[in-house]
Structure 1
């Protein structure tokens, strides 16, 4: 059988009219000779009656610290509701359909409640129903441990479910349907002429997703990349072709001048960061301070980003809401000579074509200098250059880089 995975987010399922549009996409796939398997998220978003956040908020009115095992059982309910409703929509339209929870679909996870990892998938139940001619609807975001405990997969869990099913069923495509028309060159709320990318690499979309482009979860991309299964990001509400996510070789197939055509894929941003700068001597005493610093922050459960370590200082960022906790840890640990800057933002330029190409950083510095934007910190990898700027300069920096690399052309 030729499978295609179609994942639909909660905003695609909030009304009967939209659910029938979702059904039409699956029916069209069947008519083209492929077997669709739908993965659904909980209906709506926070404050909608069946959204996961709504269920969580309701439970926390009873007790703020309900055990994670029980919370996973509650959070799995949203996808069960939407899955049953979606299967019923197909049945109403005259198409046999079956809904499977994550466990019924054979999704086996570890026991990390609220952020479980998929260990394996036993797809026999899906395949049996598909061979019987039924349209299979699977609950996203959930699975079951080997000893029968219900688990949820954390943020982006329905994307992860779709990707894992794509690998298990050797699907031709994994289609992620959302409320935008694809992966954009920048946030359209900041850059009016941002445009849809027709194709991006797995590596690029992972970096874009990690750096603030929240269209698809990077864990899902990492899963399909293992088996080189193409992923398409599409819009439920339009017939736009969306963005194809595939391997570097497929993206650049037939391209004569890669570096000119695809130097930068997109510009992203993450606001509300705090930068810390900690000075120390550059001898053995400084080495001891560094070890104590990182061990203390790790034990406190504080996630660091944008880390630069020098002989005489350490620089890093944290989310703005974690800044006071960092200061408390540093004070308790006896680490002095601390400076920090609130109200920072990280801007990232992402593109597979920058690898080994001279002049990218020069172009970035030139673009920001022309706008009188101070770069507080920078870092890079083979596909991404990160810049730390003041929050008030963030949108101006995104627009400047979007113009400099001609991403609207």
Structure 2
């Protein structure tokens, strides 16, 4: 059986007009001989009635500490509504379609409400419905644990659902439909000369996604890489080929070897800096700081620890809480809010001299101060003031000839 899994995100199912465009993509696949499994996200974004964050807001004022079990029950409703609406529109278009929740589709997860991981997919029912000629619509972002309790998969969970189903059904490919025509060298809202990339390796797209590029969830890419499952990022409104993500294409060709693949970014970041050089036992302060933040459930990023100083970043939204924790420990950090992290991503930069020098040159020539930096074998990160983000992204994009 020739199978394709098509995942449509919230913006691709938000209105009747856009859903009709999604149906055109489904019809195209059927004309090519595919049996189609469709994975849907909740409709729209916060503020729209059935978006996940809108549903969560219904209980926030009544009980901000609502148990995660109940939150999962509420959040799972968004994808169910979306899936039933999409099924109805397909049937109106003359296409026999059936909707399944995550647990009806055989998705078994761990017990971790809100951030569950998929343990297995038993797709027998999906296979049976496909054999009868139906398009099967599956709710993304959800499953159930061994106790038959409903669970959700966290941000980007619909991507993971699509890839997990694709892997279990040995699909020929998984299409991730969105509101852009593919993966670009930078966010086009920041860099007007950003261009589309025809093909990427799993590692390239995963690194871009981890650094803030809103493409596909890194967990989904990692699963696809483990199963050698081909992915495509495409536009719902176009039949264009999009960006292929794979080990190698049908002719055995590997993705191009690039020094730098693209520029990614994250914004709304606050930097905390603690001078511990004069402390009697600096390591005790290090433990105190990070243990207190962990106990408060606060995720920290961009961490630099030395005998003289501790530096880390958090999201702007939790910065006041972090400051409260620091002061409760009699610590008074230096704080810089409204920062952004800009990342130069490239799988082949390891061992190449001068990459960091070119990053520094591009930023300093444009009067941009680097507040903090770090690197790995695939990425160089720089923390800057958020007001300089557009300038920095364009400078780095031009510096590495991505235009």
TM over 0.5: yes
Question: What residue in structure 1 maps to residue 374 of structure 2?
Answer: 379
Matched, 1:319 2:315: yes
Q: Distance in 2 between matches of 1:300 and 1:83?
A: 36
- Give 1:107's aligned residue: 107
In the alignment of these two chains, the number of paired residues is: 403
Match of 1:391 in 2: 386
SS at match of 1:353: coil
Q: Aligned residue for 1:68?
A: 68
- Secondary structure class of the residue paired with 1:268: strand
Over aligned residue pairs, what C-alpha RMSD do you find? 2.2
Name the residue aligned to 2:7. Answer: 7
Whole-angstrom distance in 2 between the partners of 1:66 and 1:326:
22
2:361 counterpart residue number:
366
Matched, 1:345 2:350: no
- Could you tell me which residue of structure 2 aligns to residue 163 of structure 1? 163
* 1:85 alignment counterpart: 85
Aligned counterpart, 2:129: 129
Matching residue of 2:37: 37
Residue pairs, 1:114-193, within 5 angstroms: 114-193=114-193
What is the TM-score normalised by the length of structure 2? 0.93
Which segments of 5 or more consecutive residues in structure 1 lack a partner in the other structure?
none
The 1:384–1:97 alpha-carbon spacing in structure 2 relative to 1, beyond 3 Å, is same
Please give the alpha-carbon distance, in whole angstroms, between the structure 2 residues aligned to 1:366 and 1:15: 46
Q: Aligned-pair distance for 1:16?
A: 3.2
Deviations, residues 140-188 of structure 1 (Å, cap 9, x unaligned): 1111111111111111111111111111111111110011111111111
Task: Provide Cα deviations, 1:343-391, integer angstroms capped at 9, x if missing partner.
Answer: 2211101111212221111111111121121111111111111001112
Residues 1:257 and 1:4: Cα distance change in structure 2 (over 3 Å): closer
Residue number in structure 2 paired with 1:226: 226
CA distance in 2, matches of 1:214, 1:318: 19
Asked whether the equivalents of residues 199 and 251 of structure 1 are also in contact (C-alpha less than 8 Å), the reply is no
Per the alignment, in what secondary structure is the counterpart of residue 130 of structure 1?
Answer: helix
Q: 1:298 to 1:67 in 2, by over 3 A?
A: closer
Unaligned runs of 5+ in 2: none
Query: Does the 8 Å contact 1:282/1:311 carry over to 2?
Result: no
For the residue of structure 2 that corresponds to 1:316, the secondary structure is strand
| Deviation readout 1:89-114 (Å, 9 max, x if unpaired) | 23223332211111110011112222
The alignment status of 1:57 with 2:57, answered yes or no, reads yes
1:238-284 Cα deviation digits (max 9, x unpaired): 2222111223x6699757983xxx11111122122222222223897
The verdict on how the C-alpha distance between 1:369 and 1:234 changes in structure 2, with shifts beyond 3 A counting, is same
SS of the aligned residue for 1:189 comes to coil
Kindly tell me: are residues 383 and 13 of structure 1, through their superposed partners in 2, closer, same or farther at Cα, counting changes over 3 Å?
Answer: same
Normalised to the residue count of structure 1, the TM-score between the two structures is 0.92
Distance 1:391 1:240 in 2: 34
Determine the structure 2 residue equivalent to 1:205.
205
Alpha-carbon shift at residue 289 of structure 1 (Å): 2.3
1:401: how far off?
Answer: 0.2
CA displacement at 1:62 relative to structure 2: 4.7
Residue 398 of structure 2 is aligned with which of 390, 403, 406? 403
